[in-house]
Amino acid sequence: MNSYEWMVKYTSQTEWIKGGGMLVWLSFYAGILGSGSYLVSLYFNNLLGMLVSWLIIVVIKNGFHMAHAKRPMRMWRMILRPKSSWLSRGTIFIGLFTGCGFIQLILSYLLPGTPAEITFKLLTGIAVCAVLLYEGFTLNYIKGIPFWNSALLPVLFIFWGLLSGLALIATIGWSGADSSGLAAGNQLFLIATIILTVLYMWSASYAGAAAQESVKIILQGNLSLIFGVGAVLLGMIIPLIIWWLSSVVGQTLAVTILVCEIIGGLAFTYSVFKAGVYSPIISNDWR
């Protein structure tokens, strides 16, 4: 873009995807991956899965956030505005998840099945749902980028998180869970994600010229390869085919699915972040 085209033509957001901004994209994906995995691990009562997911959020996601902030010592202030700021709410949710999750993991290891463990499982489950939700709403709140201002975006983030979680559980192995149930669950979520992605792109193309421009960038522009190969092929189609062909997936295929899901999730979130464009303040047909 030439400098004289800034906010006269569609202007891409760069703060959260270019240079140091890539850390924000990575932290968002780590949050989606960790929270989805934790929820699935909670459902299948897989302690190792819960531990891995907890570490993904606490170490990796928070690590990326701290690395992005030039003033990390001030980050405690981010809990001060939960009334109006999604970032503030998210910080609180992550804090609650960290604390409750830590206690719950210890209780699950030492005192499984006790009322205390069940209580903390419930609290941690609520906190991790909130972590999974806040990310989509953080982007959804931004009216200036019409492509993000869609109610489907938080839902899509939830589904990508759960997809990755199911793949993680399949890789780690499940104890006492119904393997055919896991296969059916994966296929269901994959089909639902495909449908939701199509709906999201379709509805975005009706959400105004700027959102249409974003869809064009993803489907026909310089993001088409990343989105097509990464998000669609590796993230959705190949895992679906693998699950269809073998309802019982061995370790190797499970790792393949997990790698595909992670690449798919990264490609999807990258495409969403990168394709966010602002409507021009003035344009060629203004007044």
Residues that bind other proteins (CB under 8 A): 4, 6-8, 11, 13, 15-16, 20-21, 68-72, 74-75, 77-81, 84-88, 91, 138, 141-145, 278-279, 281-286
Tokens of 251: 């370790």
Tokens of 172: 């780690």
Q: How far is the CB of 217 from other proteins (least distance, A)?
A: 17
Q: How far is the CB of 6 from other proteins (least distance, A)?
A: 8
Provide long-range contacts, Cβ within 8 A and 24+ apart, for 15-23: 16/273, 17/270, 17/273, 17/274, 17/276, 20/68, 21/68, 23/64, 23/65, 23/67, 23/68
Q: How far is the CB of 25 from other proteins (least distance, A)?
A: 12
Nearer to other proteins (CB atom), residue 29 or residue 159: 29
Q: Dmax over Cα atoms in the chain, in whole Å? A: 69
The end-to-end CA distance of the chain, in Å, is 24
Nearer to other proteins (CB atom), residue 70 or residue 176: 70
Nearer to other proteins (CB atom), residue 74 or residue 110: 74
Nearer to other proteins (CB atom), residue 210 or residue 223: 210
DSSP summary character for residue 129: H
Q: How far is the CB of 44 from other proteins (least distance, A)?
A: 34
Q: How far is the CB of 29 from other proteins (least distance, A)?
A: 17
Nearer to other proteins (CB atom), residue 74 or residue 115: 74
- Cβ(218)–Cβ(275) under 8 Å? yes
Nearer to other proteins (CB atom), residue 29 or residue 86: 86
Rounded CA gap, 222 and 3, in Å?
Answer: 20
Q: How far is the CB of 201 from other proteins (least distance, A)?
A: 21
Residues 6+ apart with CB under 8 A from 12: 1, 274, 275, 276, 277, 278
Rounded CA gap, 70 and 24, in Å?
Answer: 13
